[in-house]
Amino acid sequence: MNKAITKATIPGLFVTGTDTGIGKTIVAAAIAAILRAEGMDVGVWKPVQSGEKIGNGMTDAERLLHLSGIHDRPEVVAPFTFEAPLTPMLAAKQSGVALTLKELIAAGAPLVDRYQALIVEGAGGVAVPLTEDAFVADFIAELRMPAVIVARSGLGTINHTLLTVSYLKKLGVHIIGIIMNDIEHIETIDDPSMAHNAELIERYSGLKVLGRIPRLDNAGYSVTLIPIFREKIELAPIRDAIAAQIMGG
Ligand SMILES: Nc1ncnc2c1ncn2[C@@H]1O[C@H](COP(=O)(O)OP(=O)(O)O)[C@@H](O)[C@H]1O
Ligand SMILES: [Mg+2]
């Protein structure tokens, strides 16, 4: 929607998803932790968050820092935090703040200075209003960051994922791949679609599914999450895309 702002180029990766509660925070944190363990100087950024107050450990900024093991201040990682459990644009409005893409990008400057690259977590999915005239997808395009899409593994995911892919492609966003997450899979419930979803998504999107995260008992703990992520998710395309941006200045 918003075309007026000069393109900013911030090295990094944008982690978006087909929905809220799909696994963006755990995926962003795991990627940051693993790349940092390999010596890459990446930070985390949650440009806007709503629904919780910083201090209780429940905000995405606090969870990103905790899970990735990065020592930074949640107020810097999430410069705009609104308590109302509403879509960011409305939550901001209720607090008397009219967000713009320019302000959102400017608020990330301390993080851009501090790290070589940023793993950015979006809010909700790509068609979530961030400002009066911009969706999350517009923000990703404005940042000129490549994206990964976190998608559920079960029934319904083909539709959500292909719509997300086509929306991002329309805006010229480079998509590195898709990470499937067994977020709602319970052992006792048989979902025969799961075996085929990744393959069909690859066929119709032309993109790579980088792997599938199994249902975890303790997804909120890095000791559980990170080894599983290493084992199940192909990180090379993400690593290469970020390294190329860092080297390209
Ligand atoms: N594979 C999984 N198995 C079990 N719980 C998961 C899994 N993936 C995510 N979760 C949990 O589901 C919730 C939503 O995940 P989160 O990463 O916060 O999603 P989002 O950032 O997209 O809203 C969190 O409590 C998280 O720990
Ligand atoms: Mg989140």
Residue 12 φ then ψ, to 5°: 155, -155
CB of 220 shorter than 6 A to ligand 1: yes
**pLDDT band (50, 70, 90) for residue 4:** very low
Domain boundaries, the chain: 12-247
Specify the pLDDT at position 194. Answer: 81
Specify the pLDDT at position 3. Answer: 43
**pLDDT band (50, 70, 90) for residue 15:** very high
How large is the average pLDDT for residues 166-185? Answer: 95
Nearest-CA residue for atom 23 of ligand 1: 21
Considering only CA atoms, give the Rg of the chain: 17
Q: What's the pTM?
A: 0.95
Predicted confidence (pLDDT) per residue in 50-69, tens digit = 999 999 999 999 999 999 99
Any catalytic annotation for residue 46? yes
How large is the average pLDDT for residues 223-249? Answer: 94
Provide CB contacts within 8 A for 26, sequence distance 6+.
67, 213, 219, 220, 225
SS3 (DSSP) at 115: coil
How large is the average pLDDT for residues 34-56? Answer: 96
- Helix 24-37 with 222-232: angle, nearest 10 deg: 80
Specify the pLDDT at position 186. Answer: 66
**pLDDT band (50, 70, 90) for residue 117:** very high
Please classify residue 7 by burial: count the beta carbons closer than 10 Å to its beta carbon, then call 0-12 exposed, 13-18 middle and 19+ buried.
exposed
Chain center to CA of 155 = 22
The answer to whether the Cα torsion of 125, 131, 135, 141 is positive or negative is: negative
Ligand 1 atom closest to Cα of residue 17: 22
Tell me which amino acid residue 193 is.
S
Specify the pLDDT at position 21. Answer: 95
How far apart, in whole angstroms, are the C-alpha atoms of residue 5 and residue 31?
29
b/e code 164-197 from CB counts within 10 Å (16+ = b): bbebbeeeebebbbbbbbbbebeeeeeeeebeeb
Does the pLDDT at position 7 exceed 60? no
Does the pLDDT at position 1 exceed 80? no
Specify the pLDDT at position 248. Answer: 80
Specify the pLDDT at position 189. Answer: 67
Neighbours of 158 (CB within 10 A): 18
How large is the average pLDDT for residues 83-112? Answer: 94
Task: Give me the helices (H) in the chain, please.
Answer: 24-37, 60-68, 74-77, 88-94, 101-106, 109-114, 136-143, 157-170, 194-205, 222-232, 236-247
Does the pLDDT at position 115 exceed 50? yes
Architecture of domain 12-247: 3-Layer(aba) Sandwich (3.40)
Average pLDDT, the chain: 93
Question: Distance, CA 5 to ligand 2 centroid (Å)?
Answer: 26
Predicted confidence (pLDDT) per residue in 192-220, tens digit = 888 899 999 999 999 999 999 999 999 99
Ligand 1 atom closest to Cα of residue 215: 3
How large is the average pLDDT for residues 124-140? Answer: 96
